[in-house]
Structure 1
């Protein structure tokens, strides 16, 4: 099972060094979600992360930076999908992902993407009043019916309220990965929190 980390929406103290350390420890995919940031701010953020890890970065905005800087991929927000963006600046090996909030969307649209987030699986840690919206048994039944393919990126990734004690349930439900935000960034020691999650998932970068 893959472990994906999402950035906090706003800057936190020592964020870039913390991210760089987690990438060095084996974080395979880091989603940079910074609503409202300018192109220059995003470029500066990426520039602060060692170049050897750029292929693991996925941007939720300013997608033109992905091919320009050799980043890992593009994540489409709901607003971007609604705008019906058809020309995406992707090169071979760069991934396309998005987020869905219903099982019907997963069944209908996931083939367009390398992987998708499904949320909220549990009550969100980072968003108030963003409660769990799924029965895990129902999710498991749907995921079992989906054909699987051997790609680097997971197909359906659980998002929302993911904590260490919930990773077993996520895996048992059939998710190919878990995306975390609050469990890491709300911790007084984000790197230690990441290492705890990583030790359970047993993830490493080949």
Structure 2
């Protein structure tokens, strides 16, 4: 089994679209896709995997996950919103992502308002999450190894147990996020 250090190194957990990666000029869709493909290249599971496609971005636009683009150009605020959508869509439904971003989307549509401060906070929290994750995965791996110690095929059983444990942890986090989306939506509706 791959040790946890090797696993952590192979995950490219520090991968982000940083503010300094986002040009200060508006971009066409092909340029936005290229930006994401380059930023998240290391996170691909295989060569054929696409990080972001025109169809995805068009679906986000049709679903009103971000405010309308002008002259087929995406602003820095659009790119930051697309990055947030990209990060959240793997754990939440598109409808939940839309609910979460609703208030930010309205603010970001204002030409004189920038998401940069919020987005930088998001990136900083992500960096902290990587440290928390690294510590957690180490503890889960040690726990799995202890549970199957002495069993026949212990190494394979350890890996299976760790996979199941990671999926369970992922489900716990997803359920907590969904509960928070419901609470946010309920608070907004009562205002």
* TM bucket, shorter chain: under 0.3
Normalising by structure 2, report the TM-score: 0.26
From the two aligned structures, give the one with the greater strand fraction.
1
Q: Which has the greater radius of gyration?
A: 2
